[in-house]
Amino acid sequence: MSVAAAAPSGMTDVQARIAAIQARIGTLAAGGNVAKPLSGSLGLTASAATGSFSDSLASALGSSDPSSDGSEGSDGVLGLGSSSALGVGALGSTAGVSGTASATGAGSTGSVAVSLAKDYLGIPYLWGGTDPAKGLDCSGLTKLVYGKLGVTLPRVSADQSKVGEKIPSLAQAQPGDLLFFHSPVTHVAIYAGGGKMVEAPHTGAKVRVSDVWATPSVIRRVLPSGPSATAATGAAGALTGTPYSALFQSEGARAGVSPALLAAVAKTESGFRSDATSPAGAVGLMQLMPSTAAGLGVDPSDPRQAVRGAATLLAGYLKDYSGDVDTALAAYNAGPAAVRSYGGVPPYGETKAYVARVRAAMQEVST
């Protein structure tokens, strides 16, 4: 089915607006690095001289944001809710990373765990507590935080201290590592870097950021090391065994976007299902909203066109945000307006978890 045939009422007006925009905007990258529109495309591009890719797309669609109002829980360009609705939200027993694309290993991986842990600052300590509405104990906090990242930890700190990679000393610890105290182990905290940690300390206290007040008896790393900058924004592995790998490779090369990043978005959003539809109406392999897909000139139910549309979006966002993969993913999920409002990844729990899941999926499809 062609995009033109599927165009909603009023699409002619949208196309007219886009034609006017096309008259004053150039290509996204001087070398033609952005994906070229498919036949029938509305031809969205952008340049530094005429504004960001996000602004051009928003203008073409006649709105301040090409996806939604940017509020937490909105489906955004593709809709985080689709993954949960389809039962593909959890990506196994590992999780991903946050921060800009870098080769900092588990430090960037663990930073999202630290950020999520800080969401619970001020929650009262409750022995045996696992519900933040009532209170949390030390291992209840860590189990909750890592559970949001797809890592299933045992319930008590003594058992948690046996999970993951053992780190020799605090000097080698990175943000997101688990610090255990006493022998036998009776307390656990999340290392935040710089000699600080997030912990639910004891009865009468609240979840807090504190100094590492003693030498940990055990340190464990339960999160995987993050992809390197090359894996995040440039060349990628062979994607061995990944569905649609040839599409991700070809469209990634066309747009200058990592094929692993495209594959990871597809895995997180639809579980590689081209027939997926979210409750908010996001469609297909890459879970594009129909209006966004129309603006990009692609049919979101067609795998090749969906991947090309997603590659175009991600290439534009990566250019807008100076190559910051996490911010580009946040814009893809929550919308550029939310990114603009917060000056980076919005503090929405679901968006932070979404970025982490995509990062984890990048590692999975690249190995």
Q: 109-221: which CATH number, 3.50.50.60, 3.40.50.300, 3.90.1720.10, 3.20.20.450?
A: 3.90.1720.10
- Residue 190 near residue 117, CB atoms below 8 Å: yes
DSSP string, 198-213: EE--STT-B-EEEE--
The mean pLDDT value for 188-192 works out to: 97
pLDDT at 57: 66
Domain extents in the chain? 109-221, 245-365
Q: 245-365: which CATH number, 3.40.50.9100, 3.90.245.10, 1.10.530.10, 3.40.50.880?
A: 1.10.530.10
Q: Which of 251, 269, 350, 364 is catalytic?
A: 269
- Nearest CA to 260 among 239, 275, 278? 239
Instruction: Quick: pLDDT tens for 233-262.
Output: 344 346 778 999 888 888 887 788 888 999
Lowest-confidence range among 10-14, 71-75, 288-292? 71-75
Q: Is the pLDDT of residue 144 over 80?
A: yes
- Nearest CA to 165 among 119, 219, 84, 117? 219
Dihedral, 270, 273, 277, 283 alpha carbons, nearest 10: 90
The mean pLDDT value for 117-121 works out to: 90
The answer to whether residue 165 is catalytic is no
For residue 63, name the pLDDT band (cuts at 50, 70, 90): low
Backbone angles phi, psi at 135, to 5 degrees: 150, 160
Element (H, E) at 220: strand 218-221
pLDDT at 110: 77
For residue 225, name the pLDDT band (cuts at 50, 70, 90): low
Q: Is the pLDDT of residue 93 over 80?
A: no
For residue 174, name the pLDDT band (cuts at 50, 70, 90): very high
| Cα 195 from Cα 211, distance rounded (Å) | 6
Angle made by CA atoms 36, 358, 349, in degrees to the nearest 5:
120
